[in-house]
């Protein structure tokens, strides 16, 4: 049984097991070979089911249902991050646009903020000539 600076790991109420499960899932997602990722994912699901941690049992069931998508990520290395970034930006702009009288203001603000155009206001300083 592990005993370290903070005492016996059995006293943590499953926190140490949860940490180990999380780190093992990170290693599964780091695999580059699909066959190895499938094997490690199956091992992880079995371990999570036996862990006596209810949240991890639920996650294991969800991962079992979506294993094909996880393995597709391992195979292709693609994620939905490129779509989630602009989606978050659009949601932020939508929150900023509350109070506009119609959708035209929101659409104009979305086009302005997402188009890559940078507008620099002209400053006129009294007494300053070019």
Same-domain pairing of 40 and 10: yes
Question: What H or E segment, with its residue span, contains residue 30?
Answer: helix 15-30
The answer to whether residue 56 sits within a structural domain is yes
DSSP letter (8 states) at residue 1:
-
Output the pLDDT for position 8.
58
Residue 49 backbone class (left: φ over 0; alpha: ψ -120 to 50; beta: rest): alpha
Output the pLDDT for position 129.
66
Neighbour tally for 129: CB within 10 Å: 4
The answer to whether residue 60 sits within a structural domain is yes
Output the pLDDT for position 125.
76
8 DSSP β-pair partners? 3
The answer to whether residue 125 sits within a structural domain is no
The answer to whether residue 119 sits within a structural domain is no
The answer to whether residue 67 sits within a structural domain is yes
Same-domain pairing of 17 and 58: yes
Mean pLDDT per block of 10 residues along the chain (130 residues) reads 53 84 94 94 96 94 94 87 88 89 90 84 73
Number of domains within the chain: 2
Same-domain pairing of 91 and 43: no
Same-domain pairing of 67 and 94: no
Domain that includes residue 109, residue range: 81-114
Output the pLDDT for position 1.
47
Same-domain pairing of 13 and 65: yes
Output the pLDDT for position 130.
59
Output the pLDDT for position 5.
54
Same-domain pairing of 87 and 64: no
């Amino acid at each position: 049984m592990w005993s370290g600076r903070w005492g016996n790991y059995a006293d943590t109420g499953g926190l140490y097991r949860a940490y180990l499960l999380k780190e093992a899932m990170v290693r599964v997602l780091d695999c580059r070979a699909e066959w190895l990722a499938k094997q490690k994912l199956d091992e992880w699901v079995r371990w999570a089911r036996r862990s006596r941690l209810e949240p991890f049992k639920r996650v294991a069931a969800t991962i079992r249902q979506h294993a094909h998508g996880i393995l597709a990520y391992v195979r292709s290395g693609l994620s939905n991050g490129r779509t989630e970034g602009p989606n978050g930006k659009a949601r932020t702009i939508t929150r900023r646009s509350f109070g506009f009288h119609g959708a035209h203001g929101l659409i104009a603000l979305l086009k302005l903020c997402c188009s890559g155009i940078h507008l620099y206001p002209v400053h006129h300083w009294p007494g300053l000539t070019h």
